[in-house]
Amino acid sequence: MSTVDIEIKNLHAEVEGKAILKGVNLKINKGEVHALMGPNGSGKSTLSNVIMGNPSYEVTQGEIWFKGQNILELDPTERARLGVFLAFQYPVAIPGVSAAKFLKSAVEAVAPEGNKPSAGAFLKELRENIAYLEMDDSFINRFLNDGFSGGEKKRMEILQMLMLKPTFAVMDETDSGLDIDALRIVSKGVNKLVGPNLAVLLITHYERILQYIKPDHLHVLIDGRNVLSGGPELVKKLEEKGYDWIREEFGHEVLVS
Ligand SMILES: Nc1ncnc2c1ncn2[C@@H]1O[C@H](COP(=O)(O)OP(=O)(O)O)[C@@H](O)[C@H]1O
Ligand SMILES: [Mg+2]
């Protein structure tokens, strides 16, 4: 059996009639962490949204295989049930819905039929994860993300991830805007799940988080195509030289090393 867990094949997508993804190809093996970097506007969040099934993004070509299915044929809830999770770059606030209530609905939505956790079991696990993420208990009674600081919103995404226990997690710039303590805690949360049962696509602009969450591979997305792949050593080069050299050196040729 192949060890490939996720395979994105020649993915093209449009937003409001504008082509954004123009041929993304990616294979992630079981248990691997892949970092995805690229300039602003290159399509990283579009890729995340397409993976999760956001209906604002129209897939015009390509496939995304996960657990033997082309998940593009599934609706977002079915994808979540299969184990797909997205930590949003810009988490939305839901005034009127407490964080605890939101998380309970999310956990129930992905639970296998007839296997919803009891209220007690849910609360116990929630408390444990809150403590693990060094968050204050009062957090869960506040309205979801309403008035949360940037760092609190990102911790909320990780708390949700710990509760849902995905097998394919996409983290869209979860590290942006975090101070060192928050970054350490967010990384601790992700690393709790990293292992043979989780594949991660970690979108970031910074080397910093990759010191906490070690990527097996790194990809660079430019103008809707992943043009270059490499090992962790590529991060240093990107930090030093930016992205222009890639455009100059490789154009749009797809390179995989
Ligand atoms: N919901 C949307 N509506 C209109 N344009 C969008 C939307 N989402 C993304 N885009 C456009 O798609 C391009 C890629 O954006 P995005 O995927 O957010 O890039 P990145 O995350 O790499 O910075 C940008 O030109 C952006 O304006
Ligand atoms: Mg983005």
Nearest CA owner, ligand 1 atom 10 = 15
Domain boundaries, position 158 = 4-250
**Cα of 46 to ligand 1 centre, how many Å?**
6
Ligand 1 centroid from CA 226, angstroms:
16
Residues in CB range of 130: below 8 A, 6 or more apart: 136, 137, 139, 140, 159
Cβ-proximal residues to 229 (8 Å cutoff; 6+ apart), any chain = 217, 218, 219, 220, 255, 256, 257
Q: Is the pTM of this model over 0.85?
A: yes
- How many folded domains does the chain comprise? 1
Residue nearest to atom 27 of ligand 1 (CA): 41
Inside any domain, residue 41: yes
Specify the CATH number for the domain of residue 37.
Answer: 3.40.50.300
Atom in ligand 1 nearest the alpha carbon of residue 48: 17
Tell me what pLDDT residue 1 has: 47
Question: Does residue 57 lie within any of the structural domains?
Answer: yes
Q: Which residues have CB under 8 Å from 16's CB, separation 6+? A: none
Which ligand has an atom closest to residue 58 CA? 1
**Tens digit of pLDDT for each residue in 119-171?**
999 999 999 999 999 999 898 899 999 999 889 999 999 999 999 999 999 99
First to last CA, the chain: 23
Residue 236 lies in a domain: yes
- Ligand 1, residues 14, 24, 45, 86: which to mutate, most atoms within 8 A of Cβ? 45
In a domain, 256, yes or no: no
Residue 127 lies in a domain: yes
- Confidence at residue 246, expressed as pLDDT on a 0 to 100 scale: 85
Tokens representing 70?
Answer: 């082309």
Q: State the distance from the centre of ligand 2 to the C-alpha of 137, rounded, in angstroms.
A: 30
In a domain, residue 255? The reply is no
Q: What confidence tens digit (pLDDT) does each residue in 190-239 have? A: 999 999 999 999 999 888 999 999 999 999 999 999 999 999 889 888 88
For residues 103 and 116, give the distance between their C-alpha atoms in angstroms, rounded to a whole number. Answer: 13
44 in a structural domain: yes
Find the 41 Cα to ligand 1 centroid distance in Å. 6
Residue 257 belongs to a domain: no
